[in-house]
A and B are shown apart, each in its own frame.
Chain A
């Protein structure tokens, strides 16, 4: 290894990159662009889940001559379900008939259809008047009216909106009938998760995205040296594969860290706030960059040109994006335990640790000490992937055959 050669390769790659502004700009602004896009999508900071209500409740006359409309009261209650910031959680709309409401659901214009029966109010009144003091014999149970939830059970939006609606309905029924719970329920948010807007919860994923996309840039930059034959020219010099790949990687890491900073900067501009120290999150991003670049080198080792690098790069990209928990959680089957940490197959994917670490820092307010395990795992994986990339590249492209 020669630091002079390494720096020379770094400088050369930097020059080439600065003359390929489109590629550089796309690598740097991809994640910030998506941050802005997400902010625009979640106006007010969070999603409001669409709930359609088909309110057939005809109400019930009270002894004083007034009409009790439980359906209308419930709808009003649903409209008051908000985030901590005051933004609505449910976007409640009235449906006129069942068929058109189902069509709306099928078009995904709403997540849930709540059908309140004609005798909804009457059922509540019956339950209220039959409430018996403790110790008295229980009367025969009345025929209770049925409230129906309709929705696509595979939809995550349905799951969220139905839980929220059910909780509101349950609360309303309890209050309206004067019943008390045998036990009280309490919810305690972990860290600052209770006050995070949905926009804020997406920022770590976008950050991972910005870093993950570097796999293409790293692989293509190295593969270009193969495609143009430059590696052949360099093979007759005393340069080593470590010099070449470390020089190029240094450059890619610089791009990656810049992308991370730009992403955080943009997110901050649009209201994102980290609960933990931001520098720790940046550090996590930087170390993740190292490991993704290492994976890029492995891709480059199997590529004979830029096109190969792009096609082959998709394979690890899918692992990074879909098997790391960045998009959705996956079942974990522990392979072994290391220092009290259960290690699963996904733990060999750098993004897995990055997702956990960023969530801890940004949402739960963790500091450096609480993400030490993830950082160490990222450093080890970076070293392993980089070493594998150097070894494979040496064997496939720099070895004198």
Chain B
């Protein structure tokens, strides 16, 4: 678990009513948020939710149709060099110069940000060391493996020592060792160097481990923004109980069958009685997910769920189900994400 950002930390990036439209598609809809100094802000959303467009507007890559991003109070829209120099972007796709060496790339990008060449070179060496590419310093980028290229892609955003680092899917395409290395590095950027890190990811585990706060967006709109713990709390306190069941007698077989079976209401009452409350504070969507069924899995979220297992199994048997495997786990950020964004595919 990561600590919360320091209370009262200064706002370094402020997005105000960012709106972007591509033809009929409203990609980002009046998005407003603030990123504080030294925090890691996770930016979550389904495919096509508008994450990349939103961060594109935050770093100055895209011009918003309405709204503005301010970096330390300076607007990004006009390409203000000082505002741009405070932000570093590691794009989702690997963008390198295949015929430059690792060090030459860093030196070049550093110079584009106005760094003196010797400084850019020194900083480049440090960064290559940090992400385990020191041995590849003088190797051409095209000779690197995919994972190495991803790490190089990441540090290219950092060569000018920006105050705000925006990472679009930084762990995509990395092997487990690479993920751990990059995750530790991102954490150190915020914790040890005081950088503000904004990262988009589909990896809920990554966001849960790294982010101080998590923003969930869908269809271009910000749905929620809070710490992972608070979000989990809001979706439903306690644990998650998953019970594998057979089709109930008389219900239509298959994944959609039994989704509205009366036993679900029985289980929900059990869960509420155990929790003592009705998931206070959660949104309607989140509350409705306290008990749900998808295919042959019934999911039940409740405080002290371990003591609910026997009663839940009895209720299922009484309703004619044959319970199978039972899994008990803590509420995860993925549960939060599904609760807010639903289960339907977007793309």
Contact = CB atoms under 8 A, between A and B. Distances in A.
Contacts of A229: 91, 93, 95
Interface residues of B, number: 30
B45 interface: no
Contacts of B156: 233
Contacts of A232: 61, 91, 95
Nearest to A2: B114
Query: Which secondary structure dominates chain B's binding surface?
Result: loop
Nearest to B80: A238
B62 interface: yes
A401 B62 contact: yes
Interface in B52-97: 59-63, 77, 79, 81, 84-85, 87, 89, 91, 93, 95-97
Nearest to B93: A229
Contact of A233 (B60, B84, B109, B140): B109
A31 B300 CA distance: 78
Nearest to A235: B61
Interface stretch (A12-20, A93-101, A187-195, A346-354): A12-20
Interface in A1-19: 2, 4-5, 8, 12, 15-16, 19
A234 interface: yes
Given A5-B112, A8-B108, A238-B112, A19 B99 contact: yes
Contact of B97 (A8, A16, A239): A16
Contacts of B99: 15-16, 19-20
B100 A16 contact: yes
A180 interface: no
Given A233-B109, A236-B89, A400-B77, 12 more contacts: A5-B112, A5-B114, A12-B108, A15-B99, A16-B100, A20-B99, A235-B60, A235-B61, A237-B109, A238-B81, A399-B63, A400-B61
Contacts of A12: 97, 100, 104, 108
Interface of A: 2, 4-5, 8, 12, 15-16, 19-20, 228-230, 232-239, 399-401
A233 B111 contact: no
Contacts of A16: 97, 99-100
A245 to B, nearest CB: 14
B98 interface: yes
Contacts of A4: 111, 114
B114 A238 contact: yes
A19 B143 CA distance: 13
B114 A228 contact: no
Nearest to B111: A8
